[in-house]
A and B are shown apart, each in its own frame.
Chain A
Amino acid sequence: MTRPAFVYVTYIAAPPEKVWAALTKPDLTEKYWFGYRVEAGAKAGGRMTAFNPAGRKAHDDPIIESDPPRRLVYGWKPLYKDLPDEKPSRVTFVLEPFKDQTRLTVTHDEFEQGSRMFGMISKGWPAVLSSLKSFLETGRGLEPTWDEEQQKRAAEA
């Protein structure tokens, strides 16, 4: 039986360098990634960190491969309290030039059989990557509203 893997392909009207920057610089990720500040610009052996809009650390994961602007691989084990306790999974971003655009392929794999995290990321990536495409093509991501109640929950998570 095969282990679960999630694959998503999107085409973005921007060069790979700009897509790379948008995936790795916190000042850019916060504009489309649910307000999260994701820092993933380190070399292999460094860390990927993410902070939610309330300033709580959500990720501190190893960067496994980094070959700008072509290939980025990092571990994935969110730090929120309410998430299932599972072994780290793995995210691979492949950026390829395609007709003056970028073909971005995101593969999220190495889940345990029956992983609950797998169901969560399968819903999350299409939203994040749709917002990334909007951000790079129009200057605006699909911003969340982050009402007071959500801010409160995020600060406690």
Chain B
Amino acid sequence: MSKPSFVYVTYIRTTPEKLWAALTDPDTIRKYWFGMTAECDFKAGSPWALRFADGRVADSGEILEADPPRRLVIRWRNEFKPELKAEGSSRCTFEIELAAYYPDFGGKAVKLTIHHVLEGEGDKFIAAVSGGWPKVVSNLKSLLETGDVAFKE
């Protein structure tokens, strides 16, 4: 039986380098992640934490892989909701590629694939990120394509 997981694919009119920067620059993250951000050097082995605007830690973990501007893997554990924290660590993989946005139709866009897999057991953590990623990624796409986000909080 496969582990609980969530996959989200989106295509963005940008470059892999700009998308990587948006995923790793604290000031840019804050713009599309509802005021939350991650201060991190995004190098393999470094600790990682996503914090609320007031500094509280929402999620924590470490960078498992970083291959700019193609691939980023974060070990990720919720810290602020006990029922989510109880389900333990997850692994979140970001893959970035300049791709034909649909086979047979040509046209290139940057394809972002987010694959979030719970390493333990449970259904609450994946349910939570399944609701969260579409919001965050929609905002990220809007920011890169229009210079503004769809919603602020």
Contact = CB atoms under 8 A, between A and B. Distances in A.
B151 A130 contact: no
Contacts of B102: 34, 123-124, 127-128, 144
Contacts of B146: 13, 137-138
Interface in A99-157: 99-101, 123-124, 126-128, 130-131, 133-134, 137-138, 140, 142-147, 150, 153
Contacts, number: 78
A127 B134 contact: no
Given A101-B150, A126-B11, A130-B10, A9 B134 contact: yes
B101 A127 contact: yes
Chain B residues touching A, range: 20 to 34
B118 interface: no
B105 A137 contact: no
Contacts of B107: 142-145
B11 A142 contact: yes
Interface of B: 8-13, 101-107, 109, 134-135, 138-139, 141-142, 145-146, 150-151
Nearest to B135: A11
Given A130-B141, A134-B13, A145-B106, 15 more contacts: A11-B135, A11-B138, A12-B138, A99-B150, A99-B151, A123-B102, A126-B11, A127-B102, A130-B10, A133-B138, A137-B142, A138-B13, A138-B146, A146-B105, A150-B105
Contacts of A13: 142, 146, 150
Interface residues of A, number: 31
7 contacts: A11-B150, A126-B11, A131-B101, A133-B141, A142-B107, A150-B104, A153-B104
A98 B153 CA distance: 11
A145 B108 CA distance: 9
Contact of A100 (B8, B11, B104, B151): B151
Majority-rule SS of A interface residues: mixed
A37 to B, nearest CB: 15
Nearest to B105: A144
A126 B9 contact: yes
Nearest to B11: A130
A10 B13 contact: no
Contact of A130 (B105, B106, B109, B139): B109
A11 B151 CA distance: 9
A149 to B, nearest CB: 9
A32 B45 CA distance: 41
